[in-house]
């Protein structure tokens, strides 16, 4: 498409009617003043109030803005200990001891936007541009399958050449690939494809739903309007703060009811962004009865040619990062929380124990980088920098040592446990029971199909403990049919069947 064609294409992207319909009393759900005043009101919170808030989180209820603000403003280190302990307890209650694994697949880096922090931005002449062909998408998928992954998130810039039809082709290409697991010779494939892409109109979102996407993820980047305007030039599509603010409202209305929110930490004050994420979750709950499926909180890392990504005055320290993870865990107890390979192994390990539920491993973010591993991908010629390049087996081994089961479960979305259904189950801590069974089944598959001897030794011990817990649990004893089916599926996997889920 030429320059004129691209200009015309851009004109058709934003639909004001698909923004204003979500206003409540004529107002957006983000209001700078109300966030600042909550933080000021709670600048010195009473410890009794904090303990009441912790009890509320433990009863799996989303916090009110003043409650999250109060947690953010705690100064006493001992009270922070209590906050952290409660965050761990909330995670255990809702998600048990599972970590879900996925891999990102970067399909194209063409982009019409100019986000100041991103290597893919249009004005960055140093970035080598590439769009994967469907054959290349399949090759990438095969490489990711060889690691043992079952869940992918496809990532795109915003460009007419990689608009929704290209995305759908990619989704179909990924689902079409079958590979053979190295240790067992069993067939394997990707079972869930999520998307991280620009905000879209509802008609396109419906097409994505039909193509079988799992979660649709859009990060607001920053909820602070002035900062948003500073880092996203106003003449670009991304410069439209409000089109992005309601991207996930549109998605839910279009039927994509697993939606994922996020903020890029380092652009503005971290406490403000946590409040922004909370308001986003509350507005989705208010308008649709569905909270976010996951929350992401990537910290900005150095990107090629981006001055801001190396020099922002708002970079978040490790100490503040851990605090924001604990506060988010408590604020939206039902949401999954994703820590990515942007983080170094050591900090990732800490926040996985503080309430995160998902992470990526064996991550490559160069376009075509999974299958072209020999090729010299210029370390900087990527959208941002990776902090944890370890392969899946190494991370699974590590989390196993910490007592966590690695899950590749994709059952929820395939059994219709999405949106409102899953939210209800999560808040009654019921989903954790189903997921525990599916986590064990998929962990069994991984141990038989891919695990190194050391990972297998750790995994066998862990899985034995899980099986005992399941057999001795009152919940499952009251559901003998479910338990019987689980036992049968577990045996069938050992006998060579795959992709069994409850």
| Closer residue to ligand SF4 (CB): 97 or 162 | 162
Contacting ligand SAM within 18-47 (CB under 6 A) = none
| Closer residue to ligand SF4 (CB): 158 or 258 | 158
196 binds ligand SAM (CB under 6 A): yes
| Closer residue to ligand SAM (CB): 117 or 272 | 117
151/105 Cα distance (integer angstroms): 10
Pick from 111, 164, 274, 470: which binds ligand SF4 (CB under 6 A)?
111
Burial class (CB in 10 A: 0-12, 13-18, 19+), 40: exposed
158 binds ligand SF4 (CB under 6 A): yes
448/270 Cα distance (integer angstroms): 42
Contacting ligand SF4 within 221-260 (CB under 6 A) = 238
Q: Where does this chain touch ligand SF4 (CB under 6 A) — which range of 116-124, 136-144, 281-289, 294-302?
A: 116-124
408 binds ligand SF4 (CB under 6 A): no
Distance in Å, CB of 94 to ligand SAM, minimum: 25
Pick from 143, 301, 359, 438: which binds ligand SAM (CB under 6 A)?
301
φ, ψ (nearest 5 deg) of residue 238: -70, -20
Torsion-angle region of 266 (φ positive above 0: left; ψ -120 to 50: alpha; else: beta): left
Q: Where does this chain touch ligand SAM (CB under 6 A) — which range of 19-27, 112-120, 330-338, 476-484?
A: 112-120
Pick from 45, 148, 157, 366: which binds ligand SF4 (CB under 6 A)?
157
Distance in Å, CB of 271 to ligand SF4, minimum: 23
Contacts of 239 (CB under 8 A, 6+ apart): 113, 229, 232, 233
Closest alpha carbon to 499 in 422, 460, 453, 444: 444
Q: Where does this chain touch ligand SF4 (CB under 6 A) — which range of 118-126, 203-211, 294-302, 398-406?
A: 118-126
279 binds ligand SF4 (CB under 6 A): no
- Classify 239 as helix, strand or coil: helix
φ, ψ (nearest 5 deg) of residue 346: -65, -45
Give how far the C-alpha of residue 302 lies from the chain's centroid of Cα atoms, to the nearest Å. 21
Q: Are 105 and 152 in contact (CB under 8 A)?
A: yes
388 binds ligand SAM (CB under 6 A): no
291 binds ligand SF4 (CB under 6 A): no
The pair of structure tokens assigned to 65 is 């803005």
Q: Are 103 and 389 in contact (CB under 8 A)?
A: no
Distance in Å, CB of 250 to ligand SF4, minimum: 17
308 binds ligand SF4 (CB under 6 A): no
Q: Where does this chain touch ligand SF4 (CB under 6 A) — which range of 23-31, 43-51, 115-123, 491-499?
A: 115-123
107 binds ligand SAM (CB under 6 A): no
120 binds ligand SF4 (CB under 6 A): yes
Say which DSSP state 162 is in. G
Please count the residues of this chain forming the interface with ligand SF4, following the rule CB under 6 A.
Answer: 9
Say which DSSP state 265 is in. B
The pair of structure tokens assigned to 494 is 């050992």
Distance in Å, CB of 67 to ligand SAM, minimum: 27
Pick from 117, 268, 408, 413: which binds ligand SAM (CB under 6 A)?
117
Contacting ligand SAM within 222-281 (CB under 6 A) = 264
438 binds ligand SF4 (CB under 6 A): no
DSSP character string of 279-345:
HHHHHHHHHHS---SEEE-PBP---TT-SHHHH-TTPPPHHHHHHHHHHHHHHSTTSEEEE-TTS-H
Distance in Å, CB of 439 to ligand SAM, minimum: 27
Q: Where are the alpha helices (DSSP H) in 254-296?
A: 270-288
Contacts of 224 (CB under 8 A, 6+ apart): 32, 267, 268, 269, 272, 273, 276
Q: Are 257 and 418 in contact (CB under 8 A)?
A: yes
Distance in Å, CB of 385 to ligand SAM, minimum: 7
| Closer residue to ligand SAM (CB): 96 or 158 | 158
CB atoms closer than 10 angstroms to residue 10? 15
115 binds ligand SF4 (CB under 6 A): yes
Say which DSSP state 482 is in. H
105 binds ligand SAM (CB under 6 A): no
The pair of structure tokens assigned to 6 is 């691209």
CB atoms closer than 10 angstroms to residue 438? 22
Q: Which residues bind ligand SAM (CB under 6 A)?
A: 117-118, 120, 155-158, 196-198, 218-219, 221, 264, 298, 300-301, 303, 309, 342, 383-384
């Amino acid at each position: 498409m030429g320059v004129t064609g691209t200009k015309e294409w851009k004109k058709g992207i934003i639909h004001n009617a698909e923004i204003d319909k979500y206003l409540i009393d004529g107002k957006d759900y983000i209001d700078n003043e109300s966030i600042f005043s909550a933080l000021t009101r709670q600048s010195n919170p009473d410890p009794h109030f904090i303990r009441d808030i912790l009890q509320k989180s433990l009863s799996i209820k989303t916090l009110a803005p003043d409650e999250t603000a109060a947690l953010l403003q705690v100064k006493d280190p001992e009270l922070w200990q209590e906050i952290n302990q409660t965050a761990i307890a909330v995670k255990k209650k809702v998600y048990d001891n599972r970590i879900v694994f996925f891999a990102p697949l970067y399909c194209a880096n063409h982009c019409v936007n100019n986000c100041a922090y991103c290597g893919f931005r249009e004005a960055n002449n140093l970035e080598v541009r590439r769009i994967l062909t469907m054959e290349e998408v399949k090759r990438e998928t095969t490489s990711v399958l060889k690691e043992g992954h079952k869940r992918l998130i496809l990532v795109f810039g915003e460009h007419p050449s990689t608009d929704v039809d290209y995305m759908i082709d990619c989704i179909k290409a990924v689902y079409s690939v079958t590979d053979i697991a190295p240790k067992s010779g069993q067939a394997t494939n990707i079972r869930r494809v999520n998307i991280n892409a620009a905000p879209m109109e509802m008609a396109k979102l419906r097409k994505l739903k039909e193509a079988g996407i799992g979660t649709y993820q859009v990060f607001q980047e920053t909820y602070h309007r002035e900062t948003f305007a500073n880092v996203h030039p106003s003449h670009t599509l991304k410069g439209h703060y409000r089109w992005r603010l309601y991207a996930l409202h549109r998605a839910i209305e279009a039927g994509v009811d697993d939606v994922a929110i996020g903020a890029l930490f380092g652009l503005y004050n971290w406490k403000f962004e946590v409040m922004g994420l909370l308001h986003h979750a509350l507005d989705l709950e208010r308008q649709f009865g569905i909270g976010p499926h996951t929350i992401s909180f990537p910290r900005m890392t150095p990107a090629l040619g981006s001055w801001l990504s190396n020099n922002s005055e708002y970079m978040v320290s490790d100490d503040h990062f851990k605090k924001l993870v604990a506060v988010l865990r408590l604020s939206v107890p039902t949401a999954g929380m994703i820590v990515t390979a942007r983080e170094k192994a050591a900090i990732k390990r800490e926040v996985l124990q503080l309430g995160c539920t998902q992470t990526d491993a064996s991550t490559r973010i160069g376009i075509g980088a999974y299958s072209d591993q020999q090729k010299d991908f210029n370390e900087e010629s990527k959208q941002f920098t990776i902090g944890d390049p370890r392969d899946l087996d190494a991370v699974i081994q590590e989390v196993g040592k910490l007592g966590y089961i690695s899950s590749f479960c994709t059952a929820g979305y395939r059994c219709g446990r999405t949106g409102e259904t899953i939210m209800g189950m999560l808040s009654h801590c019921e989903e954790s029971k189903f997921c525990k069974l599916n986590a064990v089944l998929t962990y069994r598959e991984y141990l038989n199909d891919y695990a190194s001897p050391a990972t297998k030794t750790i995994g066998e011990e862990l899985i034995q403990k899980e099986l005992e817990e399941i057999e001795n649990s009152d919940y499952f004893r009251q559901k003998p049919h479910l338990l019987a089916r689980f036992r049968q599926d577990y045996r069938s996997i050992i006998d060579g069947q795959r992709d069994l889920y409850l």
